[in-house]
Amino acid sequence: MSANLSVEINGLKFKNPVLTASGCFSYGEEASEIYDLSLLGGVVTKSLTYLPREGHPPPKVHETASGMLNAIGLTNVGLERFLSEKLPFLAGNDTNCIVSIAGSRLEEYARLAERLSDEEDVDALEVNISCPNVDEGGLEFGAYPEPAGKVIAAVKDKFPRPLIAKLSPNVTDIVNIARSVTDSGADSISLINTLVGTAIDVKTRSFKLSNGFGGLSGPAIKPVALAMVYKVASAIKVPVIGIGGISSASDAIEFLLAGAIAVQVGTACFFDPLAPVKIIDGIREYLEDNNFDDVNDIIGTVRQ
């Protein structure tokens, strides 16, 4: 018999522990032209703001050693177009739909959560309090325990289904932030968002990104992400979702062993569109090869 891959976060069942990360999958339509999204444990949308955003001017991305910098600037279609155009498409796939929300004020998060709570097709919210790329877009909340907790409490008040808080690695002590958001009602924590970075063109002596700074992602950040996931998963009780440079099944399994109940695949979707599907197959193979009949049996079992 095939091993059980399903996991659960506060009553919400995922058919497998592999999700696509916010900002790395648009709203799912493009990838559905390559494979069936119903294979996935879940899709996390591009972060949504109340009004549409164009985002930063080009250049918005820069390739680095085993990674990349991005300063997209929360480009998104805004709430109304999301509800009329994007959500119906996502709902037509047999996978969990997790909507990422971002805001410049506490009230914007609450307003988004309230409106999205009416939509049964939205299975969970991921609260982005960690975007490093816009002045007002989240990190001012996510950088300190108290404001991070306040955002989560405001969203929790409006949204009755699972709430995932996405944390930034650009802080002095991520465990403190994790404690604050779980005390405020987060049902799960996802980490990490990108690491702040930059690159300079020595010929023109100017920054390579129009925004100056950007977020570093990709295989280069995996060891940092893995250490943070281990620390947070060891310290708090709610389920943790691991994110950061996951490109293969072996990468994903490392995060599960470190204590993540699920993973999100981000930058790998860019260079290997089939990465999420290959990772699901690879986890199944690993379980069978190692005589586990349930993925839950390996979560957090790294030896000390």
Partner 1 sequence: MKKHCGRYTVTKKTFVSRSIIRLSFRAEEISKSAIPGQFIQIRVSDSFSPLWPRPFSIYDADTRRGEISIIFKVAGYGTNLLGGKKEGDSIQILGPLGNGFPIPAGGSAIVMAAGGIGMPPLYLLSKFAIENGVRPNSIIFISGARNKSQLFDPVELTELNMDLRKCTDDGSEGEKGTVVDILERLIGNENNLTVYACGPSAMLKKIDRSLSEKNISGFLSLEELMPCGYGICSGCAVKVFPDENRGETDDNRDYHLKRVCAEGPVFKAGEVMWQ
Binds partner 1 (CB under 8 A): choice among 10, 15, 39, 52: 52
Binds partner 1 (CB under 8 A): choice among 165, 267, 283, 286: 267
The answer to whether 189 touches 236, Cβ cutoff 8 Å, is: yes
Q: Is 49 in the site for partner 1 (CB under 8 A)?
A: yes
Task: Mark residues 101-140: x for contact with partner 1 by CB under 8 A, - for none.
Answer: ---x------------------------------------
Active-site residue identified among 24, 97, 131, 269 = 131
As a whole number of angstroms, the distance between CA 208 and CA 95 comes to 38
As a whole number of angstroms, the distance between CA 259 and CA 240 comes to 7
Q: How far is CA 105 from CA 111, 124, 151, 204, in A?
A: 10, 21, 9, 37
Q: How far is CA 166 from CA 65, 118, 141, 193, in A?
A: 25, 22, 11, 7
Q: Which amino acid is at 51?
A: L
Q: Is 213 in the site for partner 1 (CB under 8 A)?
A: no
Beta strands 61-64 and 42-44: pairing type? unpaired
Q: Is 131 a catalytic residue?
A: yes
Binds partner 1 (CB under 8 A): choice among 6, 38, 57, 223: 57
Q: Is 175 in the site for partner 1 (CB under 8 A)?
A: no
As a whole number of angstroms, the distance between CA 60 and CA 78 comes to 20
**Total residues belonging to the chain:** 304
Binds partner 1 (CB under 8 A): choice among 75, 93, 176, 198: 75
Q: Is 23 in the site for partner 1 (CB under 8 A)?
A: yes
Q: Least distance from C-beta 301 to partner 1, angstroms?
A: 28
Q: Least distance from C-beta 25 to partner 1, angstroms?
A: 5
As a whole number of angstroms, the distance between CA 59 and CA 219 comes to 22
Query: CB-wise, 156 or 208, nearer to partner 1?
Result: 208
Residues recognised as catalytic: 131
Q: By the criterion CB under 8 A, which residues form the site for partner 1?
A: 23-26, 30-31, 33-35, 49-55, 57-58, 60-61, 63-68, 70, 72-73, 75, 78, 104, 218-220, 247, 267, 269-274
